[in-house]
Amino acid sequence: MQTGSCHCGTVRFEVDSGIEEYRRCNCSICRRKGAVMVTAKKEDFRIVAGEANLSLYQWNTNT
Domains assigned to the chain? 2-55 (2.170.150.70)
Spatial separation of the C-alpha atoms in residues 10 and 36, rounded to whole Å: 18
pLDDT band at 62 (very low <50, low <70, confident <90, very high): low
Decide if pLDDT at 63 tops 60: no
Quick: pLDDT tens for 1-54.
889 898 789 999 999 977 777 888 878 888 888 888 888 888 999 999 999 999
Whether this prediction's pTM lies above 0.85 is answered by: no
Spatial separation of the C-alpha atoms in residues 62 and 38, rounded to whole Å: 24
What integer pLDDT is reported at residue 50 of this predicted model? 97
